[in-house]
Amino acid sequence: MPRFILNINDIEYTVEAPERMPILWVLRDKLNLTGSKFGCGIGQCGACTIHVDGTPVRGCCVPVKALEGKVLRTIEGVPTEHPVKESWRKLDVAQCGYCQTGQIMSAIALLDRKPKPTREEINRAMKGNICRCGTYKRIKNAIKEASKNQIA
């Protein structure tokens, strides 16, 4: 079985996995990084969102082979005191919580690109993340709240 060296949350991991295994399953099944969730398996719901070189990607669709030499960040690599996590707690965003790690990772990527986004920019950036509980208004408010606490 092929071996891959992966930089995840500033730690170097060597994993054995089939080349086409989605990184989501490498993270969850091989490295026990279970914060990223399986939702749909076709990249439509956003529950499996991670960052690859700072860009949000759907972990269920990206094969491990494509990620050697890249910098990966999962929800486990986001500090507790990050403004997005703090705003999520402050505004009590999560209901069931299943999609929230993907929502948070997408929100962080947005604020990294655009520290003070407009409502329209928030809507566009979050469009690919589905929340079955319908907490969209709280999610958007939390992103706005986090943007106030960002250092631009």
- pTM of the entire predicted model: 0.94
Q: Which domains does the chain have, with CATH numbers?
A: 3-77 (3.10.20.30), 83-149 (1.10.150.120)
Q: Tens digit of pLDDT for each residue in 16-51? A: 999 999 999 999 999 999 999 999 999 999 999 999
Angle made by CA atoms 13, 15, 19, in degrees to the nearest 5: 130
Q: Tens digit of pLDDT for each residue in 58-109? A: 999 999 999 999 999 999 999 999 999 999 999 999 989 899 999 999 999 9
- What are residue 58's DSSP bridge partners? 49
**Percent of residues in the chain assigned helix, strand, coil, to nearest 5:** 40, 15, 45
Q: d(Cα 46, Cα 11) in Å, to the nearest integer?
A: 24
Query: Is 112's pLDDT higher than 70?
Result: yes
In angstroms, what is the C-alpha Rg of the chain? Answer: 15
What are φ and ψ of residue 25, in 5° steps? -75, -30
